[in-house]
Structure 1
């Protein structure tokens, strides 16, 4: 599980702030953090200690991960209003809300395919039985062979 250390090294802190500002823009970062540009620069140089809440938010922006996300989330990231998978597939919140319904539809389709496969299997078995019965009649030694039909003119 990801842990947020309250006191990063000065060079790590500068990199963290730079990545976070790049992720959301400087004006947005200042507005959301509720600080002046001078305060952000003092944080960056290590002159002023960064409050834990602000540090956690900077890490979220920098790493594009929420606190507490385990290793199974490695490679996932947030990009604006999208959750981006390690494969680069972007999902909106609306699409994620529909996953439950898509799973139900997929389960229904699997059930229907199973039913249709059973019907096809049963029909194939019946046709095989009819074919065997027809062959048995055609090769019955007690029946005389059929005479060829003459064409009607």
Structure 2
């Protein structure tokens, strides 16, 4: 890993780790997860399934689903465009939504701290939800 902050690397690796947690959560709420494991399901569709299952109501305007969707826009921007004039806006949106959802990062802090903190918080949120789902605690109350 490079010593200095590389937003491309952090985004692409972080997106993969987040998607693994989405998979665990999605499979944890299924009666027969093997049916889904055989399919290629996009990050966006996984997110929509989970949002449909858990809803937004309990988050009182602080939905982690919106932050996860913003992360996916950043990843898609990096993966499908050489240069995207909207990239910085996507990053700002992800940070704003993550902070609103509860990441606890300082909105005035350095980008690498805010970005890493947002990933850490989302990973913790998803891992906790996945553990509860795997244990049969459904729907998980966040």
| TM-score (structure 2 length as normaliser) | 0.29
More helix by share: 2
TM-score, reference length from structure 1: 0.27
Considering Cα pairs closer than 8 Å and 6+ residues apart, tell me whether 1 or 2 has the greater RCO.
2
Asked which structure has the greater CA Rg, the reply is 1
More strand by share: 1
